[in-house]
Amino acid sequence: MASLFRRSNGIYYLVTIVNGKQVWRSTGCKTKAQALKWLSGSEQQIPFEEPIPTGILLSEFRTQFLQYAKSNLSPKTVDLYRSGFSQFLKIVGDRPLSGYSVRDVETFKIERLKTVSPVKVNIDFRTLRASFNIAVNWELVQVNPFLKVKEVRIPPKRPVYFTQEEFKKLLGTINQEWYRDIVRFAVSTMMRVGEIVNLRWSKVDLPNRLIHVENTIEFTVKTQRPRTIPMDEWVCLMLRKKARISELVFTFPSGRPLPIGYVSHRLKKWVRRAGLREELHFHSLRHTGATWLVQKDVPIFTVQQLLGHSRVDMTQIYSHLDVEHLRKPLQKIQDSIERSDSRGGLE
């Protein structure tokens, strides 16, 4: 049984079910009368034994999507989408959107894993899945093949953080006061490096001791969700004393903006000079603040709000780092055993 449908591009398509799958074929006609005429002369001549993909090519959709993304997403996110499209086209090839299958997605994952890490494969996978969802919303394709495929499984890793002794040693090693302030600020606020170097004085509310992490024209928060961070005593005092030589809070002493890469690489220099663990990096400062809060019995939901995590399971990785707070409840079992023994044994 074949049916005619008019799509958003104004053209009528002949839709047939073959082996449980929809097969779409363009009639090339923009009026129903023309489509019916085409159908009466063509339906019996065209075999429908195998689905024949039709419609916009992935390369064409990529151009349209990236134009849309530039006005709705951060430049960094647009680059991720551009990279995902490029790799998928390279591995699977350029076809109409309706021509991609679940097997193609699995092939992409397998081939991509040969050259990059599972984390990078999942980044590509998520961006492509999201772009195909947009294609479905735009009625360019009926089904998103990525929805039936799972991401590469990555065992959870414990976040790397500074112990209090390591952090004290690090601060004692850094001989640049302006950079030392950035390091301590990063732990105290648990802000990401991009959020720190893009923080503007207009987002600092000293009277109420609040820092507003918000999206701007120049910078987009990772989760795109703004959040407000209270200042502790040290942060408030440091910011009150800090000279305002730029619209940005943290800059080079000359007032020049700080590149994210410079700030991150600079910390590795000081970590090595202090003789600390090689796995410690700038993002470890954010992990450090979160870990120390959990170790001080701060509720995990409070830590989630401060970090700006969209889901609490992202924050719960910190709850497994300190086993000492678990040791005390377990001691109660031993206490019960000892009391039972003193009464003549367990019943």
* pLDDT for the residue numbered 227: 84
* Integer CA distances (angstroms), 294 to 8, 170, 252, 299, in order: 53, 22, 33, 7
Of 99, 96, 9, 98, the closest CA to residue 58 belongs to 96
161-181: average pLDDT: 94
* pLDDT for the residue numbered 346: 43
Task: Reply yes or no on whether the pLDDT at 145 is more than 50.
Answer: yes
Active-site annotation holds for 153 = no
Residue pLDDT, tens place only, 175-234: 999 999 999 999 998 888 998 999 999 999 999 999 998 877 677 777 667 888 888 899
Q: Minimum mean pLDDT among 38-47, 126-135, 198-207, 281-290: which range?
A: 38-47
Q: Minimum mean pLDDT among 17-21, 208-212, 247-251, 343-347: which range?
A: 343-347
Task: Reply yes or no on whether the pLDDT at 44 is more than 50.
Answer: no
Active-site annotation holds for 81 = no
* pLDDT for the residue numbered 286: 87
pTM given for the model: 0.58
* pLDDT for the residue numbered 154: 79
Spatial contact of 173 and 190, defined as CB atoms under 8 Å apart: no
21-46: average pLDDT: 69
* pLDDT for the residue numbered 21: 54
Residue written as token pair 């780092």: 321
Active-site annotation holds for 287 = no
Residue pLDDT, tens place only, 254-268: 999 999 999 999 999
Task: Reply yes or no on whether the pLDDT at 250 is more than 90.
Answer: yes
57-80: average pLDDT: 88
Q: Hey, which bits of the chain come out as E strands?
A: 2-6, 12-18, 21-26, 204-205, 210-213, 227-230
Give me the residue spans of the domains in the chain. Answer: 2-42, 58-148, 164-320
* Integer CA distances (angstroms), 331 to 294, 321, 343, 345, in order: 20, 19, 19, 18
Domain 58-148, what fold? DNA polymerase; domain 1 (1.10.150)
Q: What whole-number percentage of the chain has pLDDT above 70?
A: 79
CATH class of the domain defined by 164-320? mainly alpha
Q: Return the number of other C-beta atoms located less than 10 Å from residue 158's C-beta.
A: 11
Residue pLDDT, tens place only, 10-26: 787 776 655 555 566 77
- Residues 6 or more apart whose Cβ sits within 8 Å of residue 150: none
Active-site annotation holds for 212 = no
162-179: average pLDDT: 94
Marked catalytic residue, from 62, 112, 192, 287: 192
The per-residue pLDDT of the chain, averaged, comes to: 82
Active-site annotation holds for 222 = yes
Marked catalytic residue, from 200, 209, 266, 283: 283
Marked catalytic residue, from 266, 309, 311, 320: 309
49-71: average pLDDT: 78
Active-site annotation holds for 283 = yes
Marked catalytic residue, from 100, 161, 179, 318: 318
Half-sphere exposure at residue 193, Cβ-oriented, CA atoms within 13 angstroms: 19
- Residues 6 or more apart whose Cβ sits within 8 Å of residue 7: 13, 139
Task: Reply yes or no on whether the pLDDT at 306 is more than 90.
Answer: no
Marked catalytic residue, from 95, 126, 212, 222: 222
38-60: average pLDDT: 62
Spatial contact of 121 and 157, defined as CB atoms under 8 Å apart: no
* Residue, of 62 and 49, whose pLDDT is higher: 62
